[in-house]
Amino acid sequence: MDYGNDDHCHNNDENADGHDDEFYHLVSAGCRAVVTYAIKHIAKQPCRDSKETGLVQERFQHSGETIHRHLHKVIKALNLMAMDLTKPSDLIFSEIPKKRRHRQLYWPHFKDCIGAIDGTHVLAVVREDKKIPYIGRKGTVTQNVMEACDFDLLFTFIMAGWEGAAHDTCIFLDAIRSSFANFSKPPSGKYYLVDAGYPLMKGYLTPYNGEKYHLPDFRRAGRGNGIEERFNYVHSSLRSAIDRTFGVWKNRWRILRQMPSYDIKDQMLIVVASAVLHNFIRIHDRKDERFKWDKSISDDLESNDDETWSTSQEDIGNIHNEEMKMVRDNIARSICGL
């Protein structure tokens, strides 16, 4: 067999370039369509450059119905891309992020941490007769979305579509047990940071219950005196990466806070599509100013971090609780120099 066929190699390069061009064209068109739709129909800002047609119709020379139909095609295409763009960059988690390696606060205590997991609520629009399951703890109609992130503000997993009243634990269990969820489970010895809304089990490290945890509490009273409070402070500080990721994501995509009245399945696709675009921008435009957005997360950008896990729920942690308690205690002693 002739492995030195230059023409064959050249054709492969051309095909690869063609696929890259199609990929970037699709993402570019998706970004433009979503932003234009949000400006026109969500922000209610006038965006007509003629009396007869809207900006999008004018640009693409198609009817509103056609634009609407292709918008849905783009959103579905972005969801297909989620398999590639919302996953860990290092599937075996062998690399240690710079944020931990270069910060004495985290290193070497959390050297085996691979990311953070939390849930967040995204406003939903459903029919009156279907609202009750979607009413969250604050009385608003929402989806409860579970997401995992790394320490570079990239989503590594997203599960959308659960009703607002669903408990974080239920969504979490479905994600780690379902073979269709495509969740990257932690390898042996590694773990995600989770808050008190999740069970302490192998691969998922919670803070100490009954002690201060949220960063605003520590800002008022210092970084904690006891070994458990000190651990909670560092745990909360490192886990805040997911709160910041949520904030950047929701601050960019206004559609997440003013969801159009599509079918709930389409609303779920919009949530995933926006997370894909979030990652795409982060990967390909490191200088994007919106990723420097670092103000406190407001009520409408919050996660579920004030919920606690109900002991009446299925006790899934009995087998592994003791092991993770030991991991937590060892980290706590290391932080305090004991």
Domain layout of the chain by residue ranges: 6-85, 98-335
pLDDT of residue 118: 96
Residue 229 has pLDDT above 70, yes or no: yes
Residues 271-281 have a mean pLDDT of 95
Residues 155-168: pLDDT tens digits? 999 999 999 999 99
The pLDDT value recorded for residue 142 is 95
Sole residue written with tokens 């240690």: 96
Range scoring the smallest mean pLDDT among 200-209, 229-238, 275-284, 298-307: 298-307
Whole-number average pLDDT of the chain: 78
Side-chain half-sphere of 8: how many Cα atoms within 13 Å? 5
> In the predicted model, is pLDDT for residue 114 greater than 70?
yes
Confidence of residue 91 (pLDDT cuts 50, 70, 90): confident
Give me the mean pLDDT over the 8-31 stretch. Answer: 50
Residue 265: pLDDT band with limits 50, 70, 90: very high
Query: pLDDT band at 95, cuts 50/70/90?
Result: confident
- Weakest mean pLDDT among 187-201, 263-277, 288-302, 312-326: 288-302
pLDDT number for residue 168 = 92
Q: Calculate mean pLDDT across residues 251-278.
A: 92
Q: Would you call 303 exposed, middle or buried from its count of C-beta atoms within 10 A (0-12, 13-18, 19+)? A: buried
pLDDT score at 174: 94
Split at pLDDT 50, 70, 90, the class of 182 is confident
Q: What is the pTM of this model?
A: 0.75
Quote the percentage of the chain above a pLDDT of 70.
69
Nearest C-alpha neighbor of 170 from the set 309, 317, 269: 309
For 41-64, what is the mean pLDDT? 47
Which tokens sit at 310? 């109900």
Say yes or no to pLDDT of 264 above 70.
yes
Residue 218: what pLDDT? Answer: 79
Closest-CA residue to 75 (of 277, 212, 234, 251): 277
293/313: higher pLDDT? 293
pLDDT score recorded for residue 290: 84
State the distance between the two ends of the chain, measured CA to CA, in whole angstroms.
65
Q: What is the pLDDT of residue 276?
A: 96
Average pLDDT over residues 246-268: 91
Give yes or no for residue 198 having a pLDDT over 60: yes
Q: What pLDDT score does 32 carry? A: 56
pLDDT band at 50 (very low <50, low <70, confident <90, very high): very low
